């Protein structure tokens, strides 16, 4: 391949600039060190014998003299028509004097013409960039969209690589079919949407769907991000939007994809003073372009975001983004299909059932499932296994849900007992309340930011929650704190229930202010609107209910919390023997499955395991043997 030789204009420009700056700085430094004398003072110093060296020039006389303190210093003075200067220097015993002619022509040119030279070089660089050799200087207004499709060398992603999202794929297939055979739609007088907006939770596969459209359409596909339009230079974003649509019209039929469009599509006139900043100019240009081009040209815009609530209403009106496609979280069937796609390259053992894994991962989106399969493969490789087994999958699920194990976290015997009672309280209440998900696992092994966890997995996907289910969930959250209060003294309760109390209070407040599940407050929506936090809008936000209603809301929330705590307390008090048994097994095994909890409730004994408390060091064992008391100042700081 022939490489075009490039003239280093930019290097030459910076070298010249450095030379000029160096000479200017050096000149000022020398001038600051020279003392400027009057000619009469210079002659007086000669007569006094204070001059040691003189260099006579046509425009300046320089040399060295001794001041009143005897220090040798530089001086300069303006020469005059003095024919006796040489004789006076000989009489003044100045033995080193000479004359010079001015031959320095570079300095005047650099000082006088340097700025002009730099300006000329800069414009040569700009003009050269406009000529096509190096377009960096004029490429600010060009779009940074990447072209894919017909000429793409990367592996094409098709709808076969996208599992789930059935409705979303059907909507996009219609767009692809229009690009391939527009006559089918035009003969009935129909118009294809100008824009399609994909929105859903993070990780649901919006960008993957757009890439699949590129692979299926077999047309040029320009992909870019919303943040690529916003720059520090005014007008650059609008210029890039214009360039993107111009490139699309030249390559029609084609697809334009903008990921994270909320970076440029947020509400206008919402900042301080409703400023018209660069981002709003970019949005205005996008609105104009979407309103100005015709779908007959075969250019369709696809955008993706997980924040449709912050988009400007003008962007969502018919005629711009005519069609809005929801990319939902996958259900059980979709999760099984997604797992099958991501496990194609993974060696799985025969005991793995993808349907079981799909049932144990409710709420997981596509990105979570991809991470789950990858974590399982890494765990198997770490253990030098040939295939990935179900044990690796189970550990990977726990790593995704609760975080990795913190094997370096050494808990004292007191902390382990408190953690065991806390988690046993959660599990016991979860087993005795009717409207709750089955307990899958209870552990006192530190994971993530917690010292233990109780994992509940639903048997099916839920889209609605009843009042009874929410009340039972709050009671389960309070079970850990209640177990600590009943077993240990009041001063020994810990900060471990912090997150439980926060989540329970949040559910209770939503029941009162959003779900209309309070008899005293009634079916009133007291939730503040979820708006983007802008300074002016946030300050002017009105309080939507009176102080009396606010007090009533607080009373109802407290009543729900107190009732849930009483329920949990009664369950644990009535089953204290079972609680202690669960605690003993947790201290022995560190992990209990849902089946183990069921056996303990039935009064069955679990098979004893060899003692291997790897998390307890020698010091902790001594403390446990002597039964050393722990003071209230040693209350836990960690989340349990």
Structure-model confidence comparison of residues 138 and 246, the more confident one: 246
- Indicate if 248 and 157 belong to the same structural domain: yes
Model confidence at 350: pLDDT above 60: yes
Final residue of a domain: which of 76, 103, 130?
103
Spatial distance between the Cα atoms of 615 and 77, rounded to a whole number of angstroms: 86
Domain boundary among 326, 356, 391: 326
Determine contact, residues 354/339, Cβ cutoff 8 Å: yes
Q: What confidence tens digit (pLDDT) does each residue in 412-445 have?
A: 888 889 999 999 999 999 999 998 888 988 988 8
Cα separation values, 407 from 398, 445, 447, 593, Å: 15, 8, 9, 20
**Residue range 147-166: average pLDDT?**
70
DSSP string, 25-55: HHHHHHHHHSEE--HHHHHHHHHTT-EEEEE
Q: Minimum mean pLDDT among 37-46, 130-139, 166-175: which range? A: 130-139
Q: Same structural domain for residues 93 and 218?
A: no
Q: What is the CATH number for 593?
A: 1.20.58.760
Residue 339 falls inside a structural domain = yes
Tell me which of 24-28, 372-376, 552-556 is least confident: 24-28
Could you tell me the CATH number of the domain that includes residue 375? 1.10.8.60
Assess if residue 639 is contained within a domain. Answer: no
Q: Flag whether pLDDT at 602 surpasses 60.
A: yes
Given a contact cutoff of 8 angstroms between Cβ atoms, the answer to whether 370 and 363 are in contact is: no
Report which secondary-structure segment, H or E, holds 453. strand 453-456
Mean per-residue pLDDT, 31-60: 77
Residue whose C-alpha is closest to residue 245's, from 287, 198, 205, 305: 287
Domain membership flag for residue 159: yes
Q: Which domain holds residue 71?
A: 34-103
Bond preceding residue 33 cis, omega within 30 of 0:
no
Q: How many CA atoms lie within 13 A of 121 on its CB side?
A: 17
**H or E element that contains 503:** helix 498-513
What distance in Å separates the CA atoms of residue 335 and residue 357, rounded to the nearest whole number? 9
Q: Is there a single domain that holds both residue 488 and residue 550?
A: yes
Average pLDDT over residues 146-156: 59
**44: CATH:** 3.30.720.210
- Is residue 22 included in any domain, yes or no? no
What is the number of domains present in the chain? 4
Residue 131 lies in a domain: no
Instruction: Provide, rounded to the nearest whole percent, the portion of the chain with pLDDT above 70.
Output: 75
Backbone angles phi, psi at 364, to 5 degrees: -75, 135
Look at residue 141 in the predicted model and tell me its pLDDT.
54
Tell me: pLDDT of 450 over 60.
Answer: yes
Q: 59 with 199, same domain?
A: no
Do 529 and 540 touch, CB atoms closer than 8 A? Answer: no
d(CA 308, CA 326): 10
The C-alpha atoms of residue 89 and residue 83 are separated, in whole angstroms, by 11
Q: Which residues are tagged catalytic?
A: 423
Has residue 330 got a pLDDT over 80? Answer: yes
Residue that terminates a domain, selected from 304, 326, 348: 326
* Residues 322 and 340 placed together within one structural domain of the fold: no
Q: Per mean pLDDT, which range of 108-112, 564-568, 615-619 is the poorest?
A: 615-619
Identify any residues that bridge with 225 across adjacent strands, giving them in sequence order.
259
Let me know whether 619 and 520 are in one domain.
yes
pLDDT at 536 over 50: no
* 209 in the same domain as 188: yes
pLDDT higher at 567 or 71: 567
Query: Which pLDDT tens digit goes with each residue over 33-47?
Result: 667 778 888 888 888
> What does the pLDDT look like over 384-401, one tens digit per residue?
999 999 989 988 888 888
Residues 200 and 296 in one domain: yes
Examine the domain organization and report whether 386 and 442 are in the same domain.
Answer: no
What is the model's pLDDT at position 26? 62
pLDDT confidence bin for 31, thresholds 50/70/90: low
Q: State the pLDDT confidence band at 144, using cuts at 50, 70 and 90.
A: low
* Cα–Cα distances in angstroms (integers) from residue 529 to residues 201, 508, 526, 532, 557, in the given order: 19, 19, 9, 9, 20
Higher pLDDT, 124 or 71: 71
CA torsion sign, 150 to 154 to 155 to 158?
A: negative
Residue 133 banded pLDDT, cuts 50, 70, 90: very low
Residues 332-349 pLDDT 10s: 888 999 999 888 888 888
Do 544 and 622 reside in the same domain of the chain? yes
DSSP calls for 563-593 = HHHHHHHHHHHHTHHHHHHHHHHHHHHSEEE
Q: Are residues 223 and 299 in the same domain?
A: yes
pLDDT single digits (tens) 293-309: 555 567 888 899 988 88
Q: Strand pairing partners for 439? A: 456
Please indicate whether residue 104 or residue 482 has the higher confidence score (pLDDT): 482
Do 150 and 240 sit in the same domain of this protein?
A: yes
Does the residue 234 lie in any domain? yes
The band of 624, judged by pLDDT with boundaries at 50, 70 and 90, is: very low
> Which is more confident, 378 or 136?
378
Please name the helix (run of DSSP H) or strand (run of DSSP E) that holds residue 197, with its range, or none.
Answer: strand 195-199
Least confident segment among 212-221, 300-309, 358-367, 472-481: 212-221
- Establish if 261 belongs to a structural domain: yes
Question: Is residue 588 one of the residues assigned to a domain?
Answer: yes
């Amino acid at each position: 391949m022939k490489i075009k030789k490039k003239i280093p204009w930019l290097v030459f420009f910076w070298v010249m600039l450095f030379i000029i700056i160096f000479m200017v700085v050096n000149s000022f430094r020398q001038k600051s060190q020279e003392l400027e004398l009057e000619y009469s003072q210079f002659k007086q110093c000669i007569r006094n014998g204070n001059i040691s060296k003189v260099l006579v020039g046509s425009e300046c006389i320089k040399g060295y003299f001794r001041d009143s303190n005897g220090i040798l210093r530089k001086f300069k003075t303006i020469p005059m028509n003095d024919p006796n200067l040489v004789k006076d220097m000989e009489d003044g015993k100045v033995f080193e004097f000479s004359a010079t002619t001015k031959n320095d022509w570079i300095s005047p040119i650099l000082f006088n013409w340097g700025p002009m030279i730099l300006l000329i070089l800069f414009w040569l660089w700009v003009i050269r960039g406009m000529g096509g050799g190096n377009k960096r200087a004029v490429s600010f207004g060009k779009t940074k969209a990447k072209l894919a499709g017909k000429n793409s060398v990367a592996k094409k992603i098709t709808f076969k690589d996208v599992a789930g999202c059935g409705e979303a794929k059907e909507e996009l297939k219609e767009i692809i079919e229009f690009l391939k055979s527009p006559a089918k739609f035009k003969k009935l007088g129909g118009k294809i949407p100008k824009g399609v907006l994909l929105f859903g939770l993070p990780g649901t596969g919006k960008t993957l769907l757009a890439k699949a459209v590129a692979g299926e359409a077999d047309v040029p596909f320009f992909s870019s991000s919303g943040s690529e339009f916003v720059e520090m230079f005014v007008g650059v974003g609008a210029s890039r939007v214009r360039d993107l649509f111009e490139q699309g019209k030249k390559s029609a039929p084609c697809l334009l994809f903008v990921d994270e469009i909320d970076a440029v599509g947020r509400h206008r006139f919402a900042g301080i003073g409703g400023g018209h900043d660069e981002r709003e100019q970019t949005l205005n240009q996008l609105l104009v372009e979407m309103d100005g081009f015709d779908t007959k040209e075969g250019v369709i815009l696809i955008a993706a975001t997980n924040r449709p609530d912050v988009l400007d209403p003008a962007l969502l009106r018919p005629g711009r983004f005519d069609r809005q496609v929801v990319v939902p979280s996958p259900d059980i069937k979709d999760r099984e299909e997604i797992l099958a796609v991501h496990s194609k390259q993974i060696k799985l053992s025969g005991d793995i059932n993808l349907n079981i894994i799909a049932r144990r991962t409710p709420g997981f989106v596509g990105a979570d499932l991809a991470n789950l399969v990858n974590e399982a493969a890494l765990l198997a490789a770490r253990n030098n296994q040939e295939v990935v087994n179900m044990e690796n999958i189970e550990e990977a699920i726990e790593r995704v849900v609760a975080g990795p194990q913190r094997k370096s976290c050494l808990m004292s015997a007191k902390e382990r007992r408190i953690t065991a009672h806390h988690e046993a309280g959660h599990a016991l209440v979860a087993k005795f309340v009717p409207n709750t998900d089955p307990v899958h696992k209870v552990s006192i092994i530190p994971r993530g930011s917690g010292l233990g966890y109780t994992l509940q997995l639903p048997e099916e996907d839920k889209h609605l929650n009843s009042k009874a289910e929410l009340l039972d969930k709050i009671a389960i959250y309070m079970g850990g704190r209640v177990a600590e209060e009943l077993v240990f003294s009041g001063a020994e309760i810990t900060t471990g229930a912090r997150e439980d109390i926060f989540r329970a209070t949040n559910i209770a407040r939503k029941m009162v202010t959003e779900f209309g599940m309070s008899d005293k407050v009634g079916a009133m929506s007291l939730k503040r609107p979820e708006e983007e936090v802008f300074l002016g809008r946030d300050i002017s936000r009105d309080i939507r209910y009176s102080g009396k209603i606010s007090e009533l809301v607080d009373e109802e929330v407290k009543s729900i919390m107190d009732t849930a705590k009483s329920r949990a307390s009664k369950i644990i008090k009535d089953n204290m023997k079972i609680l202690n048994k669960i605690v003993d097994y947790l201290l022995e095994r560190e992990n209990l499955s849902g089946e183990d909890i069921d056996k303990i409730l039935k009064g069955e004994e679990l098979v004893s395991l060899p003692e291997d408390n790897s998390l307890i060091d020698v010091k902790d064992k001594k403390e446990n043997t002597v039964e050393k008391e722990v003071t209230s100042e040693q209350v836990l700081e960690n989340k349990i």
